[in-house]
Amino acid sequence: MSEAAWKSGDDRAPGTRKSILQELAGLDVAVVAPRDDQGSFLMREMQRLRLRARQVWPLPESVPCDADIVYCEYSPDLARRLPWIPGDARAALVVILPAGEPVDADALAHATPDAVLARPFNANSVVASLVLARSQFRYEQRLRAKVERLDENLRSMRTVERAKAILMATRRMPEDEAYGFIRRQAMDRRVSASAVASAIVDSFELLGYDQHL
């Protein structure tokens, strides 16, 4: 499912906003679990909720990531099998916990799941895991996007400050005048101030002037 579809529903007016279960419908789900009674039950629940589900078993070396949500059987080395680094997941992850076997808490933490589903599970626990995993994953996506915007803003501010320092040193401009020059150039060219600042810095460095300015 596309990212746009994944995020659908957020901007609708209250009267037309879909329910959580309606938003779940149509998501792609990879179920990495044995083809036993519980695995079959999980697949039926996915179909009942109108999700596009496929089952994968045995546990592959690399867990599928071409899905919106991945249900994966617990394994002590699960973190190694995930095709992403912690904090940069490409799909919501639900770890299926064994019924009577001990779980390595550290191994589970390293996999950083968005939700867990403990065997034996029922319809309610399946729905709960879906809702929690989707909500948690989207929340983390929003946080990452916010951090990226903050990083970009910080880089832009640093570039503008560097360009100001260059203008102050090479054109003997006071700080306010240097910033005003950057702003005017940006408005004249209909680009951002950071784009003008980057051009000033690049030109200055290309000519090999003092890098300590």
The CATH number of residue 99's host domain is: 3.40.50.2300
Is 115 found in the same domain as 13?
yes
Q: What is the pLDDT of residue 207?
A: 73
Determine the structural domain holding residue 182 and report its residue range.
Answer: 148-206
What are the DSSP calls for 38-72, one per residue? HHHHHHHHHHHTT-EEEEE-SPPSS---SSSEEEE
pLDDT at residue 20, rounded to an integer? 84
SS3 for 31? strand
Q: Are 201 and 166 in contact (CB under 8 A)?
A: yes
Percent of the chain at pLDDT exceeding 70 = 89
Residues 138 and 173 in one domain: no
Domain presence at residue 194: yes
Domain contains 212:
no
What is the DSSP-derived secondary structure letter of residue 150?
Answer: H
Assigned domain for 213 exists: no
Which uninterrupted H or E stretch holds 95? strand 92-97
pLDDT in tens, 65-117: 999 999 999 999 999 999 998 878 999 999 999 998 899 999 999 999 999 99
Residue 36, SS3 per DSSP: coil
pLDDT of residue 70: 98
CA distance 159 to 156: 5
Residue ranges in the chain modelled with pLDDT below 70: 1-17, 208-213
pTM: 0.73
Domain boundary among 146, 161, 183: 146
Residue 8, pLDDT score: 42
Same domain, 152 and 107: no
Residue 92 lies in a domain: yes
Same domain, 30 and 83: yes
Per-residue model confidence (pLDDT) at position 100: 86
Q: Are residues 109 and 193 in the same domain?
A: no
Pair (31, 92) in one structural domain: yes
Residue found by looking up tokens 């939700």 in the block: 115
User: 36 and 118: one domain?
Assistant: yes
The predicted pLDDT at position 206 comes to 81
